Structure 1
Amino acid sequence: MTPKTRYEIAVVHGDGIGPEVCEAGLRAIKAALPDEGKLAFREYPAGARLWQETGVSFPEETFNACRDADAIFHGAAGLPEVTAPDGTEPGLDFGLQLRFRLDLYANIRPIKLHPGVTSALRHFEPGEIDYVILRENTEGFYAARGGGNVVRGEIASDTSIITRKGTERIVRKAFELARSRNGAPRDGRKRVTCCDKANVLRSYAFFRRVAREVAEDYPDVELDFALIDAMTVHLVKRPDFYDVIVTENMFGDIISDLGAATVGGMGMSPTAEVGDDNGFFQAAHGSAPDIAGRGIANPIGTILSGGLMLTWLGERHRDNALIDAGARIDRAVGKVIRDPGLLPGDLGGTATSVAITDAVCEALAG
């Protein structure tokens, strides 16, 4: 694709702290791009509060706008106290339906320890934890949402789905990503680690077999394997060994939260969910309704997600201005959080959301 003069961004603020962190991300995105007319932001409704008010959590108008936009930017979805009769959260439909209806098969979660942040793994320093979890986003157990069975209140079942097509494309994306990175911090090796449970379940043995087949096309990248239970240990004991980790949907959901905890928490964890035609960007954290409206939510994950969005758009459209803006956001965050006075509460500081966002925007203007 060639550069465009204007990119349409669908914005859904969401629930809880969603509007606060979304606004912070938008401010940073605008500060990173000197050309104010390059991005056009359009706001649309979705989420748990909307479901309470209307009985619909994700209007078709919002879906159509997201489908047609150049990218989708989001705050946070869902409220734990707002549940449907089956016990599930309708507020989560926004993200889940986008994944399935737009085929956003690659959930990309960078796990990076920034300067200024003390890891829960105290013996690891900034730069020593820097890997990406690539989570297959449309299959696995989560593909069964809305389709599971509860029989006579006694038996419940959901079915995991793993296909050759789904596995091949996510593993191939993992190898392409590894090729573009600098390798694992420990040894500089470009490495893809396939995380599964192949020793117990045939579906994961199939996932591993397909990964081996794809790896033959990438002799310059090392292929590694780890069982999911062992991986929870490895991400604590030797996170510097990892470069790109590729895994099934539910496993990826779980270990990406664990990884985030080692680099400062969910507030430091950006997410890109992309397919061949669409991209959806948000922080990995939830809506945190207990702190909504208090001005203390950590906006960094959403700000970094804005950087991922600009980078993805720039690479997709060969637009160097967007690529540069995405890199500048990452550098600005790194500069700001070196200052102990600008750390949010979840990182042991006292800085407000607005103070952190102001500082990031100031760094981008400098």
Structure 2
Amino acid sequence: MTEYRIAVLPGDGIGPEITAVATAVLQQLTAAHGGISLDLRHQDAGAGRWLREGVAFTDEAYDACVRSDAILMGAIGLPEARHPDGREVNGDVIFRLRFDLDLYAGIRPVRSWPGLTSPLSAAPPVDYVVVRENVEGLYASRTGGCNVRDEVATDTIVITATGTRKVSEQAFRLAGKRGGRPRDGRRLVTCVDKANVLSSYAFFRQVFDQVAAEHPDIGADHVYVDAMTAYQVQQPDMFDVVVAENMFGDIISDLAAATVGGLGLAASGDIGDRHGLFQPAHGSAPTIAGKGVANPIATVLSAAMMLDWLADRHADPAAAEVARLIDDAVGDVLADGRVLTPDLGGTAGTAQVGEAIIAAAIRRR
């Protein structure tokens, strides 16, 4: 049996509630499987800690993340926890992990779920992955921008050949593992940019094309970001894997989630060559914290992504089997439709959804 050490950062707002569900799913289903075990080590990090102690992420907590095999995060941030310049302190945790561990690829899958009504009028099938460059782009200026007398503020976009190549290669690797886009099964990587206006995005596209030429068995395409938002609503079945600069990837991945039921279903993984951070794509939702109504599915699916990443990294079929079991169990619960949180039109509580997922997984075994 293989044991993995997992750093768990429950965070703020609904973070502890949804993390508790995800860790319960992990513990019960890995135990039921018997071929994998997890050593879950919780770390106190986030806006709550910053408000109490003046630091959101201690070096000790960061070091625990570095020493772990993977990191599972709930949600970080509170609107009142801000630095003097207006930035939320959640960046002290999320950006430190992304930038310091070089988690250059933000993997954000989106797909239609049986039993859920799509907000799209034509309801075409949706099944694609947004690969967001995570450590460059416009967000690289997060602490290096300029504000002169509160009259002029500037931020600088950063695009490097190395960063763009790495994230593009990750996108083509993902496309090689998938079954292609829903429309016709074609394996395709689409570069989303604004190359017709800005030289930085033209450079991003140039490097993407160089990587694409090295993968002749997988198609390559280009879409301007403004057109992308229309295609995501009108023709989402034309996409397989999408790669974009940091800010554009942030925006289009949230739109992608909205087309299939909302951010409560939006899992994500921030991965690099050695480390992986897995968290729901949504925020801490402090207005519903403590009410027991938050949707934990995005966190549960992120936990499944974590196991899948560990399986790939360590050639561990047991981890892959538990990941698929969780994924399938979530699908069963959503298709059944009786245990859904309010954001999906139901009346179930956070813990109830977790219990239903565990029960569905046990039935599958």
Pair 1:209 & 2:206 matched: yes
Partner of 2:122: 123
Q: CA deviation at 1:93?
A: 1.7
Check whether the contact 1:50–1:57 (CA below 8 A) recurs between aligned residues: yes
Q: What does 1:336-347 correspond to in 2, within 5 Å? A: 336-347=333-344
Give the counterpart letter for 1:248 in structure 2.
Answer: E
> Aligned partner of 2:13: which letter?
G
Q: CA deviation at 1:209?
A: 0.7
Confirm or deny that 1:365 pairs with 2:362. yes
Residue 130 (structure 2) aligned to one of 106, 128, 133? 133
Task: Indicate whether 1:44 and 2:39 are aligned.
Answer: no
The answer to whether the aligner puts 1:178 opposite 2:193 as a matched pair is: no
1:144 aligns with 2:122: no
Across the two proteins, how many residue pairs are aligned to each other?
361
Deviation at 1:32, TM superposition (A): 2.3
- Does the aligned pair in 1 maintain the 2:35–2:318 contact within 8 Å? no
Deviation at 1:36, TM superposition (A): 8.5
C-alpha contact 2:2 2:35 (8 A) present in aligned 1: no
1:113 Cα shift?
Answer: 1.0
1:1-366 maps to which residues of 2 (within 5 A)?
A: 5-33=2-30, 34=32, 35=34, 38-124=37-123, 128-366=125-363
Aligned mates of 2:215, 2:123 — CA distance in 1: 30
Residues in 1 aligned to 2:227 and 2:73: alpha-carbon distance in whole angstroms: 33
Instruction: Please state how far the C-alpha of 1:309 moved relative to its aligned partner.
Output: 0.4
Distance (whole Å) between structure 1 residues aligned to residue 122 and residue 14 of structure 2: 32
Partner SS for 2:183: coil
Which residue identity is paired with 1:352? G
CA offset digits 1:295-338 (Å, max 9, x no partner): 00000000000100001001100111000000111100000111
Could you state the TM-score of these two structures normalised by the residue count of structure 1?
0.97
Structure 1 contact 298–344 (Cα < 8 Å) conserved: yes
Mark the CA change 1:219 to 1:280 in structure 2 (over 3 Å): closer, same or farther. same
CA distance in 2, matches of 1:136, 1:320: 28
Write the deviation string for residues 120-167 of structure 1: whole angstroms up to 9, x where unpaired.
114226xx1000000000000111111111011110011110000000
Distance in 2 of aligned mates of 1:315 and 1:342: 32
SS in 2 for 1:337: helix
Answer whether contact 2:139 2:247 (CA < 8 A) is retained: yes
Sequence identity, in percent? 51
Query: How far does residue 91 in structure 1 lie from its aligned partner after superposition?
Result: 2.5
Distance in 1 separating the partners of 2:198 and 2:241: 23
Q: Counterparts of 1:202 and 1:23 in 2: how far apart (Å)?
A: 45
After superposition, the Cα gap between the structure-2 partners of 1:224 and 1:38, relative to the gap in structure 1 and judged at 3 Å, is same
Partners of 2:36 and 2:309 in 1: CA distance: 19
Cα distance in 2 for residues equivalent to 1:116 and 1:298: 16
Secondary structure of 2:227's partner? helix
Tell me the alpha carbon deviations over residues 222-259 of structure 1, each in whole angstroms, 9 at most, x when there is no partner.
Answer: 10100001101010010011000000000000000000
In structure 1, C-alpha distance between the alignment counterparts of 2:28 and 2:328, rounded to whole Å: 13
Which aligned runs of 4 or more in structure 1 are off by greater than 4 angstroms? Answer: none
Secondary structure of the 1:82 match is coil
CA separation in 1, counterparts of 2:277 and 2:88?
A: 20
Flag structure 2 segments of 5+ consecutive residues without an equivalent: none
Superposed CA RMSD in Å reads 1.1
Aligned partners of 1:203, 1:249: CA distance in 2, in Å? 13
CA distance in 2 between counterparts of 1:284 and 1:206 reads 28
Deviation (angstroms), 1:292: 0.3
Q: Deviations over 1:242-294 (max 9, x none)?
A: 00000000000000000000010000000010000000001000000000000
